Amino acid sequence: MKIGMIGLGIMGKPMAKNMLKGGYTDLLVSDLNQAAVEEVVACGARRADNREIGETCEVVMTMLPNSPHVRAVMLGEGGVSAYMKEGQVFIDMSSINPVASKEIAAELAKKGVEMLDAPVSGGEPKAVDGTLSFMVGGKQEVFDRFKPLLETMGASVVRCGEVGAGNTTKLANQIIVACNIQAVAEAFTMAQKAGVDPQLVFDAIRGGLAGSTVMDAKGPMMIAGDDRPGFKIDLHIKDLNNALDCAHSVGAPLPMTAQVQEVLQWMHSREGGQKDHSAIAQYYEFLTDMKIGR
């Protein structure tokens, strides 16, 4: 199977490497960052442009920042879809607005090209070790055909419905993650202000109902003051903007999401947008003039 992969950023690069490790060695790659391209090429992939990817690949995959980037790469002037034909498949692993996913799918359908929207959760660590969670929208038969390919990059690959369902599920995921991170930061702040070591609080509650994958991953980072990005605040802002836009279009109330978005925006305005989203804790450190766990 010849595969085209466009987007070799913090997530896309290790995902491409895992496809190669999984036996999908006929892989063409493209990215504006030529250093990233060279790194994946050194692992066995081959560099290609939009034309070659569109004309020769059975499946075209993207891992890009947001809806406008996916539109431009696929539907813009000189975009990949201009060279695609009936029977090819597009899998978008980006996290974008589900409305945009449906619109892109509708344009591709005019050429007989099927689409899956397949955003992921897990951040860079799980992208590296190949244990991402895929949330997929699209036809069952297309999903079944490409599920083994996605499983080279993920430990969980679940079809959530038709095109758009994958990104709707991802937005739900991002709401839960963001609100959970903020709750952990608030809880640790309260504990420390009350004279209790946040590390001991973490150790005591992680096995109970309050325990979560989010707390296990982000709690130690808050306590250590480690804000190196596994998933950047600016990317989470993008996801929550998409969630709020989607919610407004369908009439769903998201007051908690709007509140945590304000905290993330505060971090962005203080040059914190490139930090890990666990750096939400720094908002509380600013308010209390203390360092959590330190």
CA separation, residue 85 to residues 43, 54, 90, 112, 223 (Å): 29, 8, 11, 7, 52
| H or E element in which residue 120 lies | strand 120-121
β-strand 27-30 against 3-6: which pairing, if any? Answer: parallel
Provide CB contacts within 8 A for 235, sequence distance 6+.
65, 95
Provide CB contacts within 8 A for 53, sequence distance 6+.
4, 6, 28, 30, 60, 80, 83
Tell me the residue type at 287: L
| H or E element in which residue 271 lies | none
Active-site annotation holds for 147: no
Nearest alpha-carbon partner for 230 in 127, 108, 83, 150: 127
Q: Which residue is catalytic, options 170, 218, 232, 275?
A: 170
Q: Which residues are catalytic?
A: 170
